[in-house]
Amino acid sequence: MSRLVELTAKIDAFFDRVEARHGDDMRCQTGCSDCCHVRLTITEVEAAAIRSAVARWPAERRAALADVGPPDRCAALDAAGRCRIYEVRPVVCRSHGVPIRLRDARSLPVIQSCHRNFTQTEPDADCVLDQTTLSALVLAVDRATGGDGSRIDLAAVLGDVMAG
């Protein structure tokens, strides 16, 4: 798991740099959960990290994971809009809020960020995360630990933790 820890530390440092430079134009904070209104899938290496961390939690904290919420929200989101697995949240969650360069087969790359962020300023070029690179790194870390790159429903992982 050390490669995942290394990758998440780099993503967290990137987010911190963007926030330090553009914090006046970023609204990311505890309780804001706009980016969490989806059902997430994660890689096996991320699932293993979550299982390992949650297994060390006290029973009452683990029990709180039983409520996976509505199907249009992240299964780790609590009723107050906070992440119940924040310290081991998946890579995709760590990158939300910063500007991300996306590509699809039909267009040139575009830069997107949360609709609440970067409403007054343009992000510096070195404050834009490249989705293709990030996805490749996550896949490489997953494969290096025996994963095959397939995605797993986070709600199922949390359900497994509760059952186990």
Give the bridge partners for 42, in sequence order.
152
Cα distances (Å, whole numbers) of residue 47 to 85, 121, 151: 11, 36, 10
Cβ–Cβ under 8 Å, residues 71 and 39 = yes
Cα–Cα dist 43/99, whole Å: 22
Check whether 3 has a pLDDT greater than 80. Answer: yes
Q: Note every long-range contact of 77-81, with CB atoms under 8 Å and residues 24 or more positions apart, other chains counting.
A: 77/33, 77/36, 80/31, 81/31, 81/32, 81/33, 81/36
Check whether 164 has a pLDDT greater than 80. Answer: no
Q: pLDDT at position 117, please?
A: 93
Label residue 5 by pLDDT band (50, 70, 90). very high
CB-hemisphere CA count at 13 Å for 108? 0
More confident residue, 77 or 67: 77
Q: Dihedral, CA atoms, 101, 25, 42, 77, nearest 10 degrees?
A: -160
Query: What burial class does residue 131 get, using C-beta atoms within 10 Å of its C-beta: 0-12 exposed, 13-18 middle, 19+ buried?
Result: middle
Q: pLDDT at position 50, please?
A: 96
Check whether 107 has a pLDDT greater than 80. Answer: no
